[in-house]
Amino acid sequence: MVNGSGCVAFGGKPPVWNNDDSNYAQWGAVKYGPEPLASEMLTGVVCGSITGDVTLPDSVANVLQGTSYGSQAALNGTYIPVLESDVEEGVGYGASDEFTGTFVVPAVEDVELGVDYGNAAEFTGTLVAGGGGMFTGLILQE
For residue 76, pLDDT over 60 is answered with yes
93: nearest Cα among 80, 79, 82, 78: 82
Tell me what the mean pLDDT of segment 106-120 comes to: 89
Higher-confidence residue: 124 or 5?
124
Q: How far apart are CA 90 and CA 8, in angstroms?
A: 65
pLDDT for position 9 = 45
Q: How far apart are CA 95 and CA 86, in angstroms?
A: 17
11-65 tens-digit pLDDT = 555 555 555 555 566 666 676 666 777 888 888 888 777 888 888 888 888 888 8
